[in-house]
Protein backbone atom coordinates (compact mmCIF):
# COMPACT_ATOMS: atom_id res chain seq x y z
CA UNK A 1 0.00 0.00 0.00
CA UNK A 2 2.82 2.41 0.85
CA UNK A 3 3.56 4.93 -1.81
CA UNK A 4 0.51 4.42 -4.05
CA UNK A 5 -0.30 7.77 -5.72
CA UNK A 6 -3.79 9.26 -5.33
CA UNK A 7 -5.27 12.50 -6.66
CA UNK A 8 -8.09 14.13 -4.64
CA UNK A 9 -10.30 16.65 -6.45
CA UNK A 10 -12.55 18.75 -4.23
CA UNK A 11 -13.35 22.47 -4.12
CA UNK A 12 -13.81 22.54 -0.33
CA UNK A 13 -10.44 23.45 1.26
CA UNK A 14 -11.21 21.86 4.64
CA UNK A 15 -12.49 18.66 3.05
CA UNK A 16 -9.50 18.53 0.71
CA UNK A 17 -6.98 18.99 3.50
CA UNK A 18 -8.59 16.50 5.87
CA UNK A 19 -8.91 13.79 3.23
CA UNK A 20 -5.29 14.35 2.25
CA UNK A 21 -4.10 14.04 5.87
CA UNK A 22 -6.06 10.82 6.37
CA UNK A 23 -4.66 9.15 3.27
CA UNK A 24 -1.10 10.41 3.77
CA UNK A 25 -1.16 8.91 7.26
CA UNK A 26 -2.11 5.60 5.64
CA UNK A 27 1.01 5.71 3.47
CA UNK A 28 -0.41 7.01 0.19
CA UNK A 29 1.28 9.65 -1.92
CA UNK A 30 -1.41 12.27 -2.28
CA UNK A 31 -1.80 15.24 -4.57
CA UNK A 32 -4.80 17.57 -4.54
CA UNK A 33 -6.70 19.76 -6.97
CA UNK A 34 -9.44 22.30 -6.30
CA UNK A 35 -11.17 21.91 -9.68
CA UNK A 36 -11.56 19.46 -12.55
CA UNK A 37 -9.59 21.77 -14.83
CA UNK A 38 -6.68 21.80 -12.39
CA UNK A 39 -6.85 18.01 -12.11
CA UNK A 40 -6.62 17.55 -15.89
CA UNK A 41 -3.61 19.87 -15.98
CA UNK A 42 -1.90 17.78 -13.28
CA UNK A 43 -2.65 14.52 -15.12
CA UNK A 44 -0.51 15.64 -18.04
CA UNK A 45 2.60 14.83 -16.03
CA UNK A 46 1.24 12.82 -13.09
CA UNK A 47 -0.21 9.31 -13.23
CA UNK A 48 -2.00 8.34 -9.99
CA UNK A 49 -3.46 4.92 -9.28
CA UNK A 50 -6.77 6.50 -8.22
CA UNK A 51 -8.64 9.78 -8.62
CA UNK A 52 -11.18 10.65 -5.92
CA UNK A 53 -13.40 13.40 -7.36
CA UNK A 54 -16.40 15.23 -5.95
CA UNK A 55 -19.33 15.10 -8.37
CA UNK A 56 -20.47 18.68 -7.86
CA UNK A 57 -17.38 20.70 -8.71
CA UNK A 58 -17.70 24.28 -10.00
CA UNK A 59 -17.22 24.67 -13.73
CA UNK A 60 -16.49 21.20 -15.10
CA UNK A 61 -18.08 18.71 -12.70
CA UNK A 62 -16.62 15.45 -11.46
CA UNK A 63 -18.58 13.34 -13.93
CA UNK A 64 -17.18 15.17 -16.94
CA UNK A 65 -13.72 14.81 -15.39
CA UNK A 66 -14.27 11.04 -15.18
CA UNK A 67 -15.37 10.89 -18.83
CA UNK A 68 -12.23 12.70 -19.99
CA UNK A 69 -9.95 10.51 -17.88
CA UNK A 70 -11.52 7.33 -19.26
CA UNK A 71 -11.58 8.65 -22.85
CA UNK A 72 -7.81 9.17 -22.98
CA UNK A 73 -5.56 6.17 -23.64
CA UNK A 74 -2.90 7.62 -21.35
CA UNK A 75 -5.22 7.80 -18.31
CA UNK A 76 -7.89 5.15 -18.98
CA UNK A 77 -6.28 2.71 -16.54
CA UNK A 78 -6.69 5.12 -13.58
CA UNK A 79 -9.37 4.11 -11.07
CA UNK A 80 -11.91 6.94 -10.78
CA UNK A 81 -14.12 7.12 -7.70
CA UNK A 82 -17.03 9.56 -7.43
CA UNK A 83 -17.16 11.38 -4.07
CA UNK A 84 -20.79 12.32 -3.68
CA UNK A 85 -23.57 13.18 -1.26
CA UNK A 86 -25.95 10.41 -2.32
CA UNK A 87 -29.54 11.64 -2.83
CA UNK A 88 -31.05 8.88 -4.91
CA UNK A 89 -30.07 5.99 -7.11
CA UNK A 90 -29.76 8.36 -10.05
CA UNK A 91 -26.48 9.71 -8.64
CA UNK A 92 -24.95 6.25 -8.63
CA UNK A 93 -26.07 5.48 -12.15
CA UNK A 94 -24.83 8.81 -13.49
CA UNK A 95 -21.42 8.12 -11.95
CA UNK A 96 -21.23 4.66 -13.51
CA UNK A 97 -22.43 5.95 -16.89
CA UNK A 98 -19.66 8.56 -16.79
CA UNK A 99 -17.07 5.80 -16.41
CA UNK A 100 -16.47 5.92 -12.65
CA UNK A 101 -15.28 2.62 -11.22
CA UNK A 102 -17.01 3.22 -7.90
CA UNK A 103 -18.48 5.94 -5.73
CA UNK A 104 -18.34 6.80 -2.06
CA UNK A 105 -21.31 8.45 -0.40
CA UNK A 106 -20.89 11.35 2.02
CA UNK A 107 -20.89 11.51 4.96
CA UNK A 108 -18.42 8.72 5.67
CA UNK A 109 -16.31 8.27 8.78
CA UNK A 110 -12.52 8.23 8.71
CA UNK A 111 -12.21 4.47 9.19
CA UNK A 112 -14.59 3.65 6.34
CA UNK A 113 -12.94 6.08 3.92
CA UNK A 114 -9.57 4.37 3.93
CA UNK A 115 -11.14 0.91 3.79
CA UNK A 116 -13.19 1.90 0.74
CA UNK A 117 -10.16 3.39 -1.02
CA UNK A 118 -8.27 0.16 -0.38
CA UNK A 119 -11.15 -1.90 -1.77
CA UNK A 120 -11.35 0.25 -4.90
CA UNK A 121 -7.63 -0.11 -5.59
CA UNK A 122 -7.62 -3.86 -4.95
CA UNK A 123 -10.67 -4.39 -7.17
CA UNK A 124 -9.03 -2.60 -10.10
CA UNK A 125 -5.35 -3.42 -9.68
CA UNK A 126 -5.45 -6.54 -7.51
CA UNK A 127 -4.34 -7.03 -3.90
CA UNK A 128 -0.88 -8.32 -4.77
CA UNK A 129 0.87 -4.97 -4.54
CA UNK A 130 -0.64 -4.23 -1.17
CA UNK A 131 0.21 -7.68 0.16
CA UNK A 132 3.82 -7.29 -0.90
CA UNK A 133 4.14 -4.01 0.94
CA UNK A 134 2.80 -5.22 4.29
CA UNK A 135 -0.54 -5.45 6.08
CA UNK A 136 -3.17 -2.76 5.90
CA UNK A 137 -3.66 -0.87 9.15
CA UNK A 138 -7.41 -0.42 9.58
CA UNK A 139 -7.14 1.89 12.58
CA UNK A 140 -7.78 4.83 10.30
CA UNK A 141 -7.72 8.21 11.93
CA UNK A 142 -5.94 7.01 15.05
CA UNK A 143 -2.69 8.60 13.87
CA UNK A 144 -4.30 11.83 12.71
CA UNK A 145 -2.51 14.70 14.49
CA UNK A 146 -4.87 16.03 17.15
CA UNK A 147 -3.71 19.62 16.69
CA UNK A 148 -4.37 19.52 12.93
CA UNK A 149 -7.79 17.95 13.43
CA UNK A 150 -8.79 20.60 15.96
CA UNK A 151 -7.57 23.36 13.65
CA UNK A 152 -9.63 21.93 10.79
CA UNK A 153 -12.70 21.69 13.00
CA UNK A 154 -12.34 25.29 14.19
CA UNK A 155 -11.94 26.53 10.63
CA UNK A 156 -14.91 24.49 9.43
CA UNK A 157 -17.19 25.82 12.17
CA UNK A 158 -16.05 29.43 11.78
CA UNK A 159 -16.39 29.52 8.00
CA UNK A 160 -19.67 27.60 8.09
CA UNK A 161 -21.23 29.95 10.62
CA UNK A 162 -20.36 33.03 8.58
CA UNK A 163 -21.54 31.45 5.32
CA UNK A 164 -24.91 30.41 6.78
CA UNK A 165 -25.43 33.93 8.12
CA UNK A 166 -24.76 35.32 4.65
CA UNK A 167 -27.20 32.87 3.06
CA UNK A 168 -29.90 33.96 5.52
CA UNK A 169 -29.26 37.60 4.66
CA UNK A 170 -29.37 36.79 0.93
CA UNK A 171 -32.84 35.28 1.33
CA UNK A 172 -34.14 38.84 1.64
CA UNK A 173 -32.31 39.99 -1.46
CA UNK A 174 -30.37 38.33 -4.27
CA UNK A 175 -30.41 34.63 -3.42
CA UNK A 176 -28.71 32.16 -5.77
CA UNK A 177 -30.15 28.72 -5.06
CA UNK A 178 -27.63 26.89 -7.25
CA UNK A 179 -24.63 28.42 -5.49
CA UNK A 180 -26.23 27.84 -2.09
CA UNK A 181 -26.82 24.16 -2.92
CA UNK A 182 -23.16 23.74 -3.86
CA UNK A 183 -22.02 25.30 -0.57
CA UNK A 184 -24.39 23.21 1.52
CA UNK A 185 -23.39 20.08 -0.40
CA UNK A 186 -19.81 20.58 0.78
CA UNK A 187 -20.92 20.55 4.42
CA UNK A 188 -22.55 17.12 4.02
CA UNK A 189 -19.21 15.42 3.43
CA UNK A 190 -16.95 17.65 5.50
CA UNK A 191 -19.24 17.55 8.52
CA UNK A 192 -19.28 13.76 8.39
CA UNK A 193 -15.49 13.47 8.10
CA UNK A 194 -14.93 15.89 10.97
CA UNK A 195 -17.40 14.08 13.22
CA UNK A 196 -20.21 16.65 13.19
CA UNK A 197 -23.04 14.28 12.24
CA UNK A 198 -25.79 16.77 13.14
CA UNK A 199 -24.34 19.39 10.76
CA UNK A 200 -23.96 16.79 8.04
CA UNK A 201 -27.57 15.65 8.42
CA UNK A 202 -28.97 19.19 8.49
CA UNK A 203 -26.89 20.11 5.43
CA UNK A 204 -28.29 17.12 3.55
CA UNK A 205 -31.85 18.19 4.42
CA UNK A 206 -31.15 21.79 3.33
CA UNK A 207 -29.58 20.66 0.07
CA UNK A 208 -32.65 18.54 -0.69
CA UNK A 209 -34.82 21.67 -0.35
CA UNK A 210 -32.53 23.70 -2.62
CA UNK A 211 -32.43 21.04 -5.32
CA UNK A 212 -36.22 21.02 -5.78
CA UNK A 213 -37.18 24.56 -6.88
CA UNK A 214 -39.36 26.41 -6.41
CA UNK A 215 -38.53 25.94 -2.75
CA UNK A 216 -40.57 27.16 0.18
CA UNK A 217 -38.82 30.29 1.48
CA UNK A 218 -40.04 29.80 5.06
CA UNK A 219 -38.96 26.15 5.08
CA UNK A 220 -35.53 27.06 3.71
CA UNK A 221 -35.11 29.83 6.28
CA UNK A 222 -35.95 27.40 9.08
CA UNK A 223 -33.51 24.83 7.72
CA UNK A 224 -30.70 27.40 7.41
CA UNK A 225 -31.43 28.68 10.92
CA UNK A 226 -31.08 25.14 12.25
CA UNK A 227 -27.74 24.91 10.47
CA UNK A 228 -26.60 28.20 12.02
CA UNK A 229 -27.44 26.85 15.48
CA UNK A 230 -25.54 23.64 14.72
CA UNK A 231 -22.45 25.58 13.57
CA UNK A 232 -22.65 27.94 16.56
CA UNK A 233 -23.18 25.27 19.23
CA UNK A 234 -21.86 22.03 17.70
CA UNK A 235 -22.19 18.73 19.44
CA UNK A 236 -18.91 17.11 20.44
CA UNK A 237 -17.29 15.58 17.39
CA UNK A 238 -17.11 11.95 18.39
CA UNK A 239 -19.09 8.76 17.94
CA UNK A 240 -21.97 8.53 20.40
CA UNK A 241 -21.49 5.84 23.01
CA UNK A 242 -23.70 2.81 22.59
CA UNK A 243 -25.32 1.31 25.65
CA UNK A 244 -23.87 -2.00 26.78
CA UNK A 245 -27.25 -3.71 26.31
CA UNK A 246 -27.27 -2.82 22.59
CA UNK A 247 -23.72 -4.07 22.09
CA UNK A 248 -24.41 -7.32 23.93
CA UNK A 249 -27.66 -8.01 22.10
CA UNK A 250 -25.98 -7.72 18.67
CA UNK A 251 -22.46 -9.07 19.29
CA UNK A 252 -21.84 -12.19 17.22
CA UNK A 253 -25.32 -12.12 15.66
CA UNK A 254 -25.71 -13.17 12.02
CA UNK A 255 -27.60 -10.55 10.02
CA UNK A 256 -28.92 -11.16 6.51
CA UNK A 257 -29.50 -7.94 4.55
CA UNK A 258 -31.44 -7.96 1.28
CA UNK A 259 -31.81 -5.40 -1.48
CA UNK A 260 -29.64 -2.61 -0.04
CA UNK A 261 -28.24 0.05 -2.41
CA UNK A 262 -24.45 0.38 -2.10
CA UNK A 263 -24.43 3.55 0.02
CA UNK A 264 -26.85 2.13 2.60
CA UNK A 265 -25.04 -1.21 2.56
CA UNK A 266 -21.90 0.65 3.53
CA UNK A 267 -23.61 2.48 6.40
CA UNK A 268 -25.08 -0.77 7.72
CA UNK A 269 -21.65 -2.45 7.53
CA UNK A 270 -20.08 0.38 9.53
CA UNK A 271 -22.79 0.04 12.17
CA UNK A 272 -22.57 -3.74 12.51
CA UNK A 273 -18.77 -3.68 12.71
CA UNK A 274 -19.05 -1.52 15.86
CA UNK A 275 -20.86 -4.34 17.69
CA UNK A 276 -19.03 -7.28 16.08
CA UNK A 277 -22.14 -8.53 14.28
CA UNK A 278 -21.76 -10.60 11.11
CA UNK A 279 -23.52 -9.37 7.95
CA UNK A 280 -24.26 -11.10 4.65
CA UNK A 281 -25.71 -9.03 1.79
CA UNK A 282 -27.91 -10.27 -1.06
CA UNK A 283 -29.32 -8.56 -4.12
CA UNK A 284 -33.09 -8.14 -4.19
CA UNK A 285 -33.21 -10.09 -7.46
CA UNK A 286 -31.36 -13.08 -6.00
CA UNK A 287 -32.25 -13.23 -2.30
CA UNK A 288 -31.05 -16.08 -0.09
CA UNK A 289 -32.64 -19.50 -0.18
CA UNK A 290 -34.45 -20.86 2.90
CA UNK A 291 -31.41 -23.04 3.50
CA UNK A 292 -29.16 -19.96 3.58
CA UNK A 293 -31.43 -18.47 6.23
CA UNK A 294 -31.16 -21.36 8.70
CA UNK A 295 -28.22 -19.75 10.52
CA UNK A 296 -29.68 -16.24 10.33
CA UNK A 297 -30.51 -14.44 13.59
CA UNK A 298 -32.07 -11.37 11.98
CA UNK A 299 -33.26 -10.38 8.49
CA UNK A 300 -33.11 -6.78 7.27
CA UNK A 301 -34.96 -6.04 4.02
CA UNK A 302 -34.65 -2.80 2.07
CA UNK A 303 -38.09 -1.91 0.68
CA UNK A 304 -38.28 0.01 -2.61
CA UNK A 305 -40.57 -0.04 -5.66
CA UNK A 306 -38.52 -2.68 -7.52
CA UNK A 307 -38.95 -5.22 -4.72
CA UNK A 308 -42.62 -4.59 -3.95
CA UNK A 309 -43.85 -7.49 -6.09
CA UNK A 310 -41.13 -9.88 -4.99
CA UNK A 311 -42.25 -13.24 -3.54
CA UNK A 312 -39.73 -12.55 -0.78
CA UNK A 313 -41.85 -9.63 0.44
CA UNK A 314 -45.14 -11.41 1.09
CA UNK A 315 -46.91 -12.50 4.26
CA UNK A 316 -45.76 -16.11 3.72
CA UNK A 317 -42.21 -15.22 2.69
CA UNK A 318 -39.61 -17.71 3.96
CA UNK A 319 -37.43 -14.70 4.83
CA UNK A 320 -40.03 -12.81 6.82
CA UNK A 321 -41.47 -15.73 8.79
CA UNK A 322 -39.82 -17.49 11.67
CA UNK A 323 -37.22 -14.86 12.58
CA UNK A 324 -36.96 -11.19 13.63
CA UNK A 325 -37.34 -8.86 10.63
CA UNK A 326 -36.54 -5.17 10.20
CA UNK A 327 -37.94 -3.39 7.14
CA UNK A 328 -35.87 -0.44 5.87
CA UNK A 329 -36.75 2.24 3.35
CA UNK A 330 -38.52 5.48 2.63
CA UNK A 331 -41.52 6.21 4.81
CA UNK A 332 -44.02 6.19 1.93
CA UNK A 333 -42.75 2.86 0.60
CA UNK A 334 -43.00 1.18 4.01
CA UNK A 335 -46.46 2.52 4.73
CA UNK A 336 -47.71 1.36 1.33
CA UNK A 337 -46.86 -2.28 2.09
CA UNK A 338 -49.64 -4.81 2.61
CA UNK A 339 -50.66 -4.56 6.31
CA UNK A 340 -50.05 -8.30 6.67
CA UNK A 341 -46.43 -7.79 5.57
CA UNK A 342 -46.02 -4.79 7.86
CA UNK A 343 -47.26 -6.91 10.77
CA UNK A 344 -44.44 -9.42 10.26
CA UNK A 345 -41.78 -6.78 10.89
CA UNK A 346 -40.68 -6.21 14.46
CA UNK A 347 -39.11 -2.87 13.60
CA UNK A 348 -38.93 -0.24 10.84
CA UNK A 349 -35.95 1.92 9.87
CA UNK A 350 -37.11 4.92 7.87
CA UNK A 351 -35.69 7.57 5.55
CA UNK A 352 -32.21 9.06 6.16
CA UNK A 353 -31.26 6.75 9.02
CA UNK A 354 -27.86 6.80 10.69
CA UNK A 355 -25.74 3.82 11.85
CA UNK A 356 -26.47 4.33 15.56
CA UNK A 357 -30.19 4.41 14.89
CA UNK A 358 -29.90 1.15 12.92
CA UNK A 359 -28.23 -0.53 15.88
CA UNK A 360 -31.02 0.61 18.20
CA UNK A 361 -33.72 -0.73 15.87
CA UNK A 362 -31.94 -4.05 15.26
CA UNK A 363 -31.38 -4.50 18.98
CA UNK A 364 -35.07 -3.85 19.69
CA UNK A 365 -36.10 -6.31 16.98
CA UNK A 366 -34.04 -9.04 18.64
CA UNK A 367 -35.31 -8.28 22.13
CA UNK A 368 -39.02 -7.96 21.38
CA UNK A 369 -41.50 -10.77 21.22
CA UNK A 370 -43.21 -11.07 17.83
CA UNK A 371 -46.69 -9.70 17.36
CA UNK A 372 -49.15 -12.64 17.07
CA UNK A 373 -49.96 -13.54 13.46
CA UNK A 374 -52.10 -12.41 11.76
CA UNK A 375 -51.84 -8.92 13.22
CA UNK A 376 -52.42 -6.26 10.57
CA UNK A 377 -54.62 -4.43 13.10
CA UNK A 378 -53.45 -5.05 16.69
CA UNK A 379 -56.03 -4.62 19.42
CA UNK A 380 -56.64 -0.96 20.14
CA UNK A 381 -59.85 -1.31 22.07
CA UNK A 382 -60.51 -3.35 25.16
CA UNK A 383 -57.10 -2.78 26.76
CA UNK A 384 -58.80 -0.73 29.44
CA UNK A 385 -62.07 -1.64 31.16
CA UNK A 386 -64.73 0.42 32.86
CA UNK A 387 -66.04 -0.02 36.41
CA UNK A 388 -68.48 -2.76 35.42
CA UNK A 389 -65.90 -4.69 33.44
CA UNK A 390 -67.20 -3.47 30.09
CA UNK A 391 -64.55 -2.64 27.46
CA UNK A 392 -63.57 1.02 27.25
CA UNK A 393 -61.47 2.87 24.69
CA UNK A 394 -57.70 2.77 24.83
CA UNK A 395 -56.40 6.00 26.37
CA UNK A 396 -53.40 8.01 25.17
CA UNK A 397 -51.80 11.17 26.57
CA UNK A 398 -50.40 13.49 23.87
CA UNK A 399 -47.88 16.12 24.99
CA UNK A 400 -46.41 18.79 22.70
CA UNK A 401 -46.01 22.56 22.98
CA UNK A 402 -47.04 22.98 19.34
CA UNK A 403 -50.87 23.20 19.07
CA UNK A 404 -50.73 22.15 15.41
CA UNK A 405 -48.91 18.91 16.23
CA UNK A 406 -51.37 18.15 19.04
CA UNK A 407 -54.32 18.74 16.71
CA UNK A 408 -52.92 16.47 13.98
CA UNK A 409 -51.97 13.67 16.36
CA UNK A 410 -55.23 13.82 18.30
CA UNK A 411 -57.31 13.68 15.10
CA UNK A 412 -55.34 10.72 13.75
CA UNK A 413 -55.60 8.74 16.99
CA UNK A 414 -59.27 9.54 17.55
CA UNK A 415 -60.03 8.30 14.04
CA UNK A 416 -58.65 4.94 15.15
CA UNK A 417 -60.83 4.78 18.25
CA UNK A 418 -58.42 6.04 20.89
CA UNK A 419 -59.41 8.37 23.70
CA UNK A 420 -56.93 11.27 23.86
CA UNK A 421 -55.85 13.61 26.66
CA UNK A 422 -53.54 16.49 25.75
CA UNK A 423 -50.82 18.47 27.52
CA UNK A 424 -48.80 21.48 26.35
CA UNK A 425 -45.73 21.09 28.57
CA UNK A 426 -43.78 18.53 30.57
CA UNK A 427 -45.30 19.01 34.05
CA UNK A 428 -48.81 18.89 32.59
CA UNK A 429 -47.94 15.68 30.72
CA UNK A 430 -46.56 14.00 33.85
CA UNK A 431 -49.68 15.00 35.81
CA UNK A 432 -51.98 13.63 33.07
CA UNK A 433 -50.15 10.29 33.02
CA UNK A 434 -50.41 10.01 36.81
CA UNK A 435 -54.12 10.91 36.74
CA UNK A 436 -55.43 8.88 33.81
CA UNK A 437 -52.97 5.95 33.83
CA UNK A 438 -53.22 5.65 30.03
CA UNK A 439 -52.08 2.68 28.00
CA UNK A 440 -49.73 4.94 25.99
CA UNK A 441 -48.17 8.40 26.01
CA UNK A 442 -46.84 10.38 23.03
CA UNK A 443 -44.26 12.88 24.33
CA UNK A 444 -42.42 15.59 22.45
CA UNK A 445 -38.75 15.69 23.45
CA UNK A 446 -38.47 19.50 23.45
CA UNK A 447 -41.13 20.79 25.84
CA UNK A 448 -41.00 23.64 28.38
CA UNK A 449 -40.91 22.91 32.09
CA UNK A 450 -39.83 19.29 31.80
CA UNK A 451 -38.64 17.90 28.50
CA UNK A 452 -39.74 14.52 27.17
CA UNK A 453 -36.74 12.76 28.68
CA UNK A 454 -37.54 14.09 32.14
CA UNK A 455 -41.18 13.08 31.89
CA UNK A 456 -40.12 9.63 30.69
CA UNK A 457 -37.64 9.26 33.58
CA UNK A 458 -40.31 10.31 36.11
CA UNK A 459 -42.85 7.85 34.70
CA UNK A 460 -40.38 4.98 34.81
CA UNK A 461 -39.17 5.83 38.34
CA UNK A 462 -42.79 5.74 39.52
CA UNK A 463 -43.28 2.41 37.71
CA UNK A 464 -46.41 3.59 35.90
CA UNK A 465 -47.26 0.89 33.32
CA UNK A 466 -47.50 2.98 30.16
CA UNK A 467 -46.04 2.60 26.69
CA UNK A 468 -44.05 5.76 25.87
CA UNK A 469 -43.41 6.97 22.33
CA UNK A 470 -41.20 10.05 21.88
CA UNK A 471 -41.50 12.67 19.14
CA UNK A 472 -38.05 13.99 18.29
CA UNK A 473 -36.21 16.13 15.75
CA UNK A 474 -33.28 13.69 16.23
CA UNK A 475 -30.51 16.27 16.50
CA UNK A 476 -28.08 13.45 17.07
CA UNK A 477 -28.38 9.69 17.20
CA UNK A 478 -27.09 9.68 20.79
CA UNK A 479 -30.40 11.38 21.70
CA UNK A 480 -32.24 8.30 20.45
CA UNK A 481 -29.96 5.98 22.41
CA UNK A 482 -30.55 8.09 25.50
CA UNK A 483 -34.31 7.74 25.03
CA UNK A 484 -34.17 3.94 25.00
CA UNK A 485 -31.76 3.89 27.92
CA UNK A 486 -34.34 5.85 29.95
CA UNK A 487 -37.04 3.37 29.00
CA UNK A 488 -38.77 4.65 25.87
CA UNK A 489 -40.71 2.04 23.90
CA UNK A 490 -40.34 3.77 20.54
CA UNK A 491 -39.84 7.13 18.83
CA UNK A 492 -40.97 8.93 15.67
CA UNK A 493 -38.90 11.56 13.89
CA UNK A 494 -40.33 14.97 12.99
CA UNK A 495 -41.66 15.71 10.44
CA UNK A 496 -43.74 12.53 10.55
CA UNK A 497 -46.81 11.03 8.97
CA UNK A 498 -49.80 10.63 11.32
CA UNK A 499 -50.27 7.18 9.78
CA UNK A 500 -46.74 6.22 10.82
CA UNK A 501 -47.48 7.31 14.37
CA UNK A 502 -50.70 5.28 14.40
CA UNK A 503 -48.87 2.23 13.02
CA UNK A 504 -46.18 2.42 15.70
CA UNK A 505 -48.73 2.88 18.50
CA UNK A 506 -50.72 -0.08 17.21
CA UNK A 507 -47.60 -2.23 17.42
CA UNK A 508 -46.84 -1.05 20.95
CA UNK A 509 -50.37 -1.63 22.19
CA UNK A 510 -50.60 -4.97 20.44
CA UNK A 511 -47.61 -6.40 22.29
Task: Summarize pLDDT for 313-359 with one digit per residue, the tens.
Answer: 888 887 777 789 999 988 778 878 887 888 788 888 876 676 777 88
On whether the CB atoms of residues 28 and 4 are closer than 8 A, the answer is yes
**Separation between Cα atoms, residue 297 and residue 255, nearest integer Å:** 6
How big is the CA angle at 297 (ends 292 and 298), to the nearest 5 degrees? Answer: 95
Strand order in the sheet with 440-444: 419-423, 395-399, 440-444, 467-472, 490-493
Comparison of pLDDT for 496 and 469, the residue scoring more: 469
**Separation between Cα atoms, residue 395 and residue 380, nearest integer Å:** 9
Torsion sign (Cα): 8, 235, 146, 162: positive
CB neighbour list of residue 307: distance below 8 Å, 6 or more residues apart: 259, 284, 301, 313
- pLDDT at residue 468 in the model: 94
- pLDDT at residue 485 in the model: 78
The arithmetic mean of pLDDT across residues 140-154, rounded, is 59
Buried b (16+ CB within 10 A) or exposed e, 266-305: bbbbbbbbbbebbbebbebeebbeeeebeebbbbbbbbee
Question: Could you read off the pLDDT of 404-432 as tens digits, one per residue?
Answer: 788 888 888 888 888 999 999 999 999 99
* High-pLDDT (> 70) share of the chain, %: 81
Torsion sign (Cα): 464, 469, 475, 478: positive
Q: Average pLDDT of the chain?
A: 78
Q: Which of 325, 323, 327, 314 is nearest to 294 (CA)?
A: 323
Helix count and strand count (H, E) for the chain? 20, 17
The arithmetic mean of pLDDT across residues 209-234, rounded, is 83
**Separation between Cα atoms, residue 414 and residue 223, nearest integer Å:** 32
Q: Check whether the bond before 107 is cis (ω within 30° of 0).
A: yes
Question: Could you read off the pLDDT of 22-64 as tens digits, one per residue?
Answer: 787 777 888 888 889 989 988 887 889 999 998 878 889 889 9
Buried b (16+ CB within 10 A) or exposed e, 163-195: bbeebbeeeeeebebeebbbbbbbbbbbbbbbb
Amino acid sequence: MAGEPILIVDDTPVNLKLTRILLVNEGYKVMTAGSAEEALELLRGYHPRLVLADIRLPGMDGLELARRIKASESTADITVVAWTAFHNEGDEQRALDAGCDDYIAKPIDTRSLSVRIRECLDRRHGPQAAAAEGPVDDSVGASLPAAEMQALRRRFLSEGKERVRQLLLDLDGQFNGKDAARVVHQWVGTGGLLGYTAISRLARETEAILLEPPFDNAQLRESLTNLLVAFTSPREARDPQLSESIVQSLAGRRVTAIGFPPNEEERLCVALERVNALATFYEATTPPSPEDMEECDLAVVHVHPDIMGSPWLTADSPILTGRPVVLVGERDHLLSLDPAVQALAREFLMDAWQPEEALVRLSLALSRLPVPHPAPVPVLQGAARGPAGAPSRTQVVIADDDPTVIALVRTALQNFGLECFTASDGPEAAAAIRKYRPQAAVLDVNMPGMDGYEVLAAVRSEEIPVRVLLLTARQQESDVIRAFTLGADDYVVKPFSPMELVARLKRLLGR
